[in-house]
């Protein structure tokens, strides 16, 4: 293990970038924890359930708006020449602008005119407010994808950190001045507008109207091929909250979302590694320098195993202590957290490789993987929760995690020869 760590540390650029990403992930974890803690304590489990359902809808909708353009940006920027950056970025930004305006307008219309579509009136009202920030969020995702493609992980990390610091600051301020939880949903708009102003000022030199229609067609073609896999992935991650919202009480949804936040934080460190290795995978795969790539991935694989296991123990201990001093609604949920870990841990061991198929051009295979997983997730979540309620929702998490592990491991090994464990 010591040699694995030393092997990674020899790549100074990779090490520094990873430290920046880990720092931002730390801020993300702490901010997410504080947001859940404050809302749950100040407004109760029912409001916390609505908030996390809105967040789930928000991330799902932003993925549909993006049309896979972010993956296109990362892949093309990481393998392109600097003189091509303006054309690549501007054509992608144009696609995002049209998509963001059309999709956001549709969501605003539905949530305002047809609130009965959603599991509760509170959810429809909150989602209407959150949707106002979706265009800004997706424009910011373009800027962050450019930073990732150029391996400027410091900037990527800072933007993501600022987003969550603004949100937590806004939520904390709302709890001090208002007893109405509806104001907390304006935190999304405040964060995205501020970040957009910053990113626009920094990257305005990338925006130009001198790009060809063929650039848009090419980018959209690549984006749509990866879009379905990306959409299926985010649905796999967030759709459980939306499904169970129709089947169990808002209070139970709040408790579920609280403990699942801790369980799914297991994916954050692997996600950091994935963020950092994506441009490397694309570069080495298309340059046919696989020996160097496999050496790096081997070190990452072994280190990730140790990190995941230590993180799992730390989460279980911390959560046990936390609920002993928290609101009575959450008492007794530690056992459900421990149970969910049976599915979370296996997938966390290999989730860092979730984008390997995309970065190696295996787009159809990745779409198939995420589609199969999505269908499995929807069926198990609905069936288990429908028949067994809250406990069934937890068992669905276990089943989905184990199935996701087997599916990703098998397909990546078959299609690329890369071993994830």
Structure tokens belonging to residue 394: 């937890």
For residue 193, how far is the Cα from the chain centroid? 20
Determine the Cα–Cα distance for residues 73 and 138; give it in Å rounded to an integer: 13
Residue from 196, 268, 269 nearest 237 by CA: 268
Residue 279 confidence (pLDDT): 67
Residues 6+ apart with CB under 8 A from 7: 295, 296, 299
Residue 5 confidence (pLDDT): 45
Residue from 18, 6, 8 nearest 272 by CA: 18
5 to 69, 269, 305, 352: CA distances (angstroms): 34, 15, 12, 17
Residue 171 confidence (pLDDT): 93
CB atoms within 10 A of CB 398: 18
Determine the Cα–Cα distance for residues 281 and 296; give it in Å rounded to an integer: 10
Residue 8 confidence (pLDDT): 47
Decide: 276 and 18 in contact? Cβ < 8 Å: yes
Residue 4 confidence (pLDDT): 47
Determine the Cα–Cα distance for residues 396 and 96; give it in Å rounded to an integer: 34
Q: What is 80-113 written as a DSSP string?
A: S-GGGHHHHHHHHHHHHHHHHHHHHHHHHHHHHH
Residue from 326, 42, 30 nearest 183 by CA: 42
Structure tokens belonging to residue 403: 């199935």
Per-residue pLDDT tens digits of the chain, which is 421 residues long:
445 444 444 556 666 766 777 788 788 888 888 999 999 999 999 999 999 999 999 999 988 888 877 777 777 777 666 767 787 788 888 888 898 999 999 999 999 999 999 989 999 999 999 999 999 999 998 888 888 777 777 888 888 889 999 999 999 999 888 888 999 999 999 999 999 999 999 888 887 777 667 777 777 777 777 777 778 878 888 899 999 999 999 899 999 999 999 999 888 778 777 766 766 776 666 677 767 777 777 777 788 888 899 999 999 999 999 999 888 899 989 999 999 999 999 999 988 887 778 777 787 888 888 889 999 999 999 999 999 999 999 999 999 999 999 999 999 888 888 888 7
Decide: 139 and 97 in contact? Cβ < 8 Å: yes
């Amino acid at each position: 293990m010591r040699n694995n760590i030393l092997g990674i540390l020899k790549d100074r650029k990779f090490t520094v970038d990873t430290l920046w990403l880990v720092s931002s992930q730390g801020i993300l974890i702490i901010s997410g924890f504080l947001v859940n803690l404050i809302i749950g304590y100040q407004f109760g489990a029912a409001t916390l359930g609505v908030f996390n359902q809105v967040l789930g809808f928000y991330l799902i909708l932003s993925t549909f708006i993006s049309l896979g353009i972010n993956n296109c940006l990362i892949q093309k920027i990481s393998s392109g020449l600097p003189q091509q950056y303006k054309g690549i970025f501007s054509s992608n930004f144009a696609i995002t602008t049209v998509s963001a305006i059309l999709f956001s307008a549709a969501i605003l219309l539905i949530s305002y005119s047809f609130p009965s579509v959603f599991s509760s009136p509170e959810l429809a009202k909150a989602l209407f407010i959150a949707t106002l920030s979706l265009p800004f969020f997706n424009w910011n995702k373009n800027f962050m994808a450019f930073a990732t493609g150029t391996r400027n992980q410091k900037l990527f990390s800072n933007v993501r950190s600022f987003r969550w610091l603004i949100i937590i600051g806004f939520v904390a301020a709302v709890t001090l001045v208002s007893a109405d939880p509806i104001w907390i949903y304006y935190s999304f708009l405040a964060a995205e507008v501020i970040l957009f102003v910053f990113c626009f000022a920094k990257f305005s030199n990338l925006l130009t109207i001198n790009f060809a229609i063929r650039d848009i067609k090419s980018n959209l073609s690549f984006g749509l091929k990866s879009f379905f896999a990306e959409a299926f992935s985010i649905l796999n991650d967030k759709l459980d909250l939306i499904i169970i919202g129709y089947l169990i009480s808002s209070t139970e949804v709040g408790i579920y979302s609280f403990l699942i936040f801790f369980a799914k934080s297991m994916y954050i460190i692997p996600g950091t590694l994935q963020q950092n290795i994506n441009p490397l995978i694309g570069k080495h795969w298309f340059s046919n320098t696989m020996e160097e790539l496999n050496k790096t991935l081997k070190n990452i694989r072994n280190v990730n195993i140790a990190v995941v296991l230590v993180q799992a123990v730390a989460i279980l201990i911390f959560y046990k202590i936390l609920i002993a001093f928290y609101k009575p609604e959450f008492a007794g949920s530690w056992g459900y957290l421990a149970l969910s870990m049976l599915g979370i841990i296996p997938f966390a061991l290999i989730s860092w490789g979730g984008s390997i198929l995309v970065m190696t051009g295996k787009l159809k295979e990745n779409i198939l993987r995420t589609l199969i997983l999505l269908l499995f997730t929807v069926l198990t979540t609905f069936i288990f929760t429908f028949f067994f309620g809250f406990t069934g929702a937890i068992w669905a998490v276990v089943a989905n995690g184990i199935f996701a592990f087997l599916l990703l491991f098998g397909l990546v090994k078959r299609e690329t020869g890369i071993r994830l464990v």
